[in-house]
Amino acid sequence: MRTYLVTGGAGFIGSNYIHYMFRKYDGDIRIINVDCLTYAGNLENLRDIEQRDNYSFVKADICDKEAIDRIFSENDIDRVVHFAAESHVDRSIRDPEIFVRTNVLGTAVLLNAARKAWENEDGSYKEDKKFLHVSTDEVYGSLPDDDSAFFYETSPVDPHSPYSASKASSDMLVKAYIDTYRFPANITNCSNNYGPYQFPEKLIPLIINNALNGKKLPVYGDGRNVRDWLYVDDHAKAIDMVQEKGRLGERYNIGGHNEKQNIEIIKIILQTLNEMLPDSDPRKSAINESLITYVEDRKGHDRRYAIAPDKIKADTGWYPETMFKDGIRLTIKWYFEHEDWMKNVTSGDYQKYYQEMYK
């Protein structure tokens, strides 16, 4: 039975990936989830699978060399899927150091542990061992408004925020392991994800939550920055297909072919909320465009991201399956059905973050 080590599996994409993998492989794989449970890590996201015999959780920091080495010495790990990171751009602008520590040092610790566990004396590797580093399209910087430009795997790396600089650094470390040690790894650079379990510091869940509570909807700058939105299950599937069918050592861009301005996203959410809420719901009357509030722009705000996912399609057959109009309904439905989840994650520290961030 193949054993996966998933880092950051209690976060948004990591938990969706674990659910996806158990739906697909059920009892045929084993997953060990290592996460130190920062503000973004939430074991509630995994409540329905935590009793499985083929799932286990280890609370550990990926920068803790001893703890990570121990996981590799106690388990015969076949696949590493590395999600753990500080992931929010605004937080990186306020406090860059933790981004360097987790995203760069943490990745180095993992690479080293995997290499030590997997490398034979002659420099070859044990059979069928693979490491996948989950990264972002933000490493490529920003595209002009002109919608004919795209990010390719060959696009120059040009990060602008401390977050994207730390992710670009970790990508380069993985690339250095591939080039220097012939380490069996892939890097994936994905566009903006949305879906269940996303922490409401990110645009889509923040707008859903604020609108449902009749709160203002903060739009940075002119609201015309463009992101390429991908439903999170499509990302999970892409990661699996890269490990199953991709060429080792390669970088793959993953994107939704779904570019939208932030202001369009907000208007779609308002419209969809209104369509989905029954007329009897008292919140409905307050959900309209008068909630939209333009606020100070993000520092160094990247204008446009857009992925050309041609290479992953050619090599693995993957393509983004979920249309945005369907994905956003699934997402809103999930938040309707998980009001307690939202209440829990927005109590305490979130309130402090929100006051400071949006004051």
Nearer to ligand NAD, 85 or 312 (CB): 85
Tokens 């301005």 belong to 261
CA dist., res. 10 & res. 83, Å (int): 10
| In contact, 178 and 186? CB cutoff 8 Å | no
| In contact, 252 and 191? CB cutoff 8 Å | no
Q: Does 298 bind ligand DAU (CB under 6 A)?
A: yes
Active-site entry in 55, 163, 252, 305: 163
At 79, list the tokens.
């696949």
Q: Does 83 bind ligand NAD (CB under 6 A)?
A: yes
CA dist., res. 85 & res. 83, Å (int): 6
User: What is the closest distance, in whole angstroms, from the C-beta atom of residue 170 to ligand NAD in the complex?
Assistant: 8
Nearer to ligand NAD, 36 or 312 (CB): 36
Backbone angles phi and psi of 7, in degrees to 5: -100, 145
Amino acid at 273: L
Q: Does 192 bind ligand DAU (CB under 6 A)?
A: yes
Q: Reply yes or no on whether 296 is catalytic.
A: no
Q: Does 248 bind ligand NAD (CB under 6 A)?
A: no
Tokens 């449902």 belong to 212
Active-site entry in 35, 78, 86, 137: 137
Report the candidate in 75, 84, 71 with the shortest Cα–Cα distance to residue 14: 84
Active-site entry in 61, 78, 138, 302: 138
Angle between helices 106-118 and 65-74 (to 10 degrees): 30
Query: Among ligand DAU, ligand NAD, none, what binds residue 8 when CB lies within 5 to 8 Å by partner kind?
Result: ligand NAD
Which one of 30, 79, 88, 237 is in contact with ligand DAU (CB under 6 A)?
Answer: 88
Q: Does 219 bind ligand DAU (CB under 6 A)?
A: yes
Q: Does 86 bind ligand DAU (CB under 6 A)?
A: no
Stretch that binds ligand NAD, among 57-65, 172-180, 241-249, 283-291 (CB under 6 A): 57-65
Question: Across-strand partners of 55?
Answer: 31
CA dist., res. 61 & res. 317, Å (int): 35
Q: Reply yes or no on whether 163 is catalytic.
A: yes
Q: Reply yes or no on whether 339 is catalytic.
A: no
* Residues in contact with ligand NAD by the rule CB under 6 A: 8, 10-14, 35-38, 40-41, 61-63, 83-87, 102, 106, 134, 136, 167, 190, 192-193, 199
Which residues are tagged catalytic? 137-138, 163
